[in-house]
Amino acid sequence: MSSREQELPFVPAELNRDVIGAEAVGVRGRISDPTPLPRYRDAAGEDVDFPPVDNGLDYLVSVVDGLERDEYGERPGPRKLKYAVLHLQAAAEVLLKARLEIEHWTLVTENITNKKVSREKFEKGEFTSITPEEAVRRIREIVGEEISKEEAAGLDKLTKRRNALQHYRLTTTYEEIESLTAEVLVFLMRFLHESLLPRLTPAEHDRIKDDLTYVTGGTIRIQRYVTERMEQIRPALKGKDECIVQCPRCAQDAVLVTGNGGHRAAEAAKCLFCRTTWTADALATDYVLYHLAGFFQDDVPPCPTCHRNRPVVRYVVRGTEMNAPRDSDRSPYDSVTFCFACARPAAEAPAAPAHPA
């Protein structure tokens, strides 16, 4: 075994799970590990126990299953769409209220001055809950967290569709449902990551992580979601082509390699699309496994800046190469040897400067 192989150990368990995640997202996976399944909740005789965030995610599992095209690329039929709308609305309601409940449980109850409101009754579910509209208002005005006008409008439209479906009838087109559900899903995933996940205990986090991986993977198979989300992150990626590479997990051209904090930094690279973060070394390993099918990187030279070879990868195609204009001296088929720790080409320097002015 060469020293280089010793330096690049086999994928640690943590990373390996991420790679399995790449398979789950249905991208051009070269790894044949089975798709992780959402938490199995149907064991016979097991008690019903869905804490709010788990409950919301469980609905989202059903939503992504319902919206996904089948193996022949056929879009879901009316019945699946109907349940996707119902369950997405339920997910939204549960997750918004979960945030309020973290702030204080009384924020979920309609009339706090009502003398019948008590913690005991709340625990038993004996209380009048607020409307989704009021939940949005309280998150904005009382908790002080941002929900944009567009996000609130999408939620409102979804609530109306849900009401029509549940109490009367709904006639609409596939395109309209697809567009509306994608819009609300993009919002809910943002809300989950920004407002809920950072407030969960490690145990709570552990309980939902498989569902979260499953839902993240599911959203990537919904084309309209991909379009909406890429639109949302486009400004953050703009002008950073020389530091953008394709994500080994969701296959979007959305990994921003910052090099901030050197090779040990936990967030040396982040996929703005699926929100996965890596250390520079972990991204290098992941990148080689996924994009280069583990192609031998044995004699890769050390980076002239950080003098390490572990974060250095050959044949890295960045935004610079992917989006190269036809008349430039680059082509979309070009690649560079790149250091993920320094976020710049490491060797075999291209004709163009590493950081063009």
Residue 253-272 contact track with Zn ion, rule CB under 5 A, x = bound: ------------------x-
- Is the distance from CB of 107 to CB of 101 less than 8 angstroms? yes
Q: Please identify, among the stretches 111-119, 149-157, 245-253, 323-331, the one whose residues bind Zn ion according to the rule CB under 5 A.
A: 245-253
Kindly tell me which of 92 and 271 has the beta carbon lying closer to Zn ion: 271
Question: Shortest Cβ distance from residue 155 to Zn ion (Å)?
Answer: 25
Kindly tell me which of 84 and 245 has the beta carbon lying closer to Zn ion: 245
The helix/strand/coil state of 284 is helix
- Is the distance from CB of 332 to CB of 310 less than 8 angstroms? no
Interacting residue with Zn ion among 15, 155, 339, 343 (CB under 5 A): 339
Residues 153-182 that bind Zn ion (CB under 5 A): none
Question: Shortest Cβ distance from residue 293 to Zn ion (Å)?
Answer: 19
Q: Tell me the two tokens of residue 196.
A: 């809920």
What are the φ/ψ torsions at residue 346 (nearest 5 degrees)? -105, -30
Interacting residue with Zn ion among 63, 130, 185, 247 (CB under 5 A): 247
- Closest listed residue to residue 253, CA positions, set 269, 237, 239, 275: 237
Interacting residue with Zn ion among 24, 136, 186, 303 (CB under 5 A): 303
Residue 306 contacts Zn ion per CB under 5 A: yes
CA atoms within 13 A on the CB side of 135: 25
Interacting residue with Zn ion among 24, 177, 243, 250 (CB under 5 A): 250
Residue 192 contacts Zn ion per CB under 5 A: no
Q: Report the alpha-carbon distance of residue 234 to residue 252 in Å, rounded.
A: 12
Pairing of strands 344-347, 336-339: antiparallel
Interacting residue with Zn ion among 273, 278, 287, 338 (CB under 5 A): 273
Distances (CA, A) of 297 to 8, 151, 244, 340: 10, 45, 21, 14
Estimate the crossing angle of helix 202-220 against helix 52-67, to 10 degrees. Answer: 10
3-state helix, strand, coil in the chain (%, to 5): 50, 5, 45
Residue 335 contacts Zn ion per CB under 5 A: no
Kindly tell me which of 55 and 246 has the beta carbon lying closer to Zn ion: 246
Kindly tell me which of 61 and 284 has the beta carbon lying closer to Zn ion: 284
Residue 274 contacts Zn ion per CB under 5 A: yes
Residue 249 contacts Zn ion per CB under 5 A: yes
What are the φ/ψ torsions at residue 268 (nearest 5 degrees)? -65, -25
Contacting residues toward Zn ion, per CB under 5 A: 247, 249-250, 271, 273-274, 303, 305-306, 339, 341-342
